[in-house]
């Protein structure tokens, strides 16, 4: 039971974060839909509040459940670090997060111009709402890292370790790298349904955009996790969203 204390505490800490993130990410998504789509959701579900409550419940379930098991796996893999920030790791994380946040913001001026009828402006406007800011920071920055890096990346690494490197006393670095790539690809693929729902179609360029914007940065977050700890991946993910939104706020 003593070994379960830290994972349980971590899950409890994630609970309010997940509730806040799930609530605001739901209203952020509502902001990207047109009136006809919103009315269809209301007709099917009864109200937007009901949808938001379901989103909160799902977010809490994912964060607490996957956070608990992800914490256990991370400890087995020796990837769990003390939850503190400082020194060169913090400076490097902030520097690269700012740079990548600027690159992420360029989506408006690149893919937004290259893909016909791709309404990046509507997505950007929704992202600059209060719900967009809070959803990106709490859900995107923290809860997605719990699900995709702490749990999924750790799970992939543990499975690969046990399947192909049974005799190794510690998990080989190559296994963690492969797990990072797999988690990043799945993280990007997980954005495809939302991409279809918003843009109404998938083209090779739209799919490339989805995997570039989500998969590439997912690799960065995964590297921070395996090098410095999950807290640095969370910080970087949140900062990327903050910087990109600041760029859009200033220049649009």
- Grouping H, G, I as helix, E, B as strand and the rest as coil, residue 34 is coil
2 band by pLDDT with thresholds 50, 70 and 90: low
What residue spans define the domains of the chain? Answer: 2-251
Long-range contacts of 105-110 (CB under 8 A, 24+ apart): 105/243, 105/244, 105/245, 105/247, 105/248, 107/209, 107/213, 108/248, 108/252
- Give residue 119's pLDDT: 67
- What percentage of residues in the chain have a pLDDT greater than 70? 97
| Predicted TM-score of the model (pTM) | 0.92
Q: Is the pLDDT of residue 102 over 90?
A: yes
Q: Is the pLDDT of residue 143 over 70?
A: yes
70 band by pLDDT with thresholds 50, 70 and 90: very high
Long-range contacts of 121-128 (CB under 8 A, 24+ apart): 122/32, 123/32, 123/198, 124/248, 124/252, 125/31, 126/28, 126/29, 126/31, 126/32, 127/28, 127/245, 127/248, 128/245, 128/248, 128/249
179 band by pLDDT with thresholds 50, 70 and 90: very high
Do residues 102 and 247 make contact, with C-beta atoms less than 8 angstroms apart?
yes
- Tokens for 119? 């309404």
118 or 218, higher pLDDT: 218
Q: Is the pLDDT of residue 29 over 70?
A: yes
């Amino acid at each position: 039971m003593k070994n379960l204390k830290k994972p349980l505490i971590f899950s409890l800490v994630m609970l309010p974060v997940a509730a806040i993130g799930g609530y605001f990410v739901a209203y952020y998504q509502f902001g990207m839909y047109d009136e006809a789509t919103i009315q269809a959701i209301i007709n099917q579900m009864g109200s937007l509040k009901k949808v938001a409550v379901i989103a909160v419940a799902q977010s809490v379930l994912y964060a607490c459940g996957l956070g608990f098991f992800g914490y256990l796996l991370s400890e087995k893999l020796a990837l769990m670090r003390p939850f503190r920030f400082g020194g060169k790791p913090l400076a490097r994380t902030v520097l690269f997060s700012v740079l990548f946040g600027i690159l992420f913001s360029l989506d408006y001026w690149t893919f937004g111009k290259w893909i016909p009828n791709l309404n990046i402006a509507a997505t950007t406007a929704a992202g600059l709402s209060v719900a967009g800011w809070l959803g990106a920071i709490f859900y995107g920055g923290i809860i997605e890292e719990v699900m995709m890096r702490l749990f999924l990346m750790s799970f992939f690494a543990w499975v690969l370790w046990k399947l192909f490197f049974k005799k190794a006393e510690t998990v080989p670095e190559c296994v963690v790298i492969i797990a990072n790539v797999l988690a990043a690809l799945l993280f990007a693929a997980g954005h495809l349904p939302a991409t279809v729902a918003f843009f109404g179609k998938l083209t090779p360029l739209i799919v490339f955009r989805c995997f570039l914007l989500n998969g590439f940065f997912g690799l960065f977050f995964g590297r921070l996790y395996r090098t410095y700890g999950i807290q640095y991946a969370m910080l970087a993910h949140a900062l990327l969203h903050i910087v990109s939104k600041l760029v859009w706020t200033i220049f649009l």
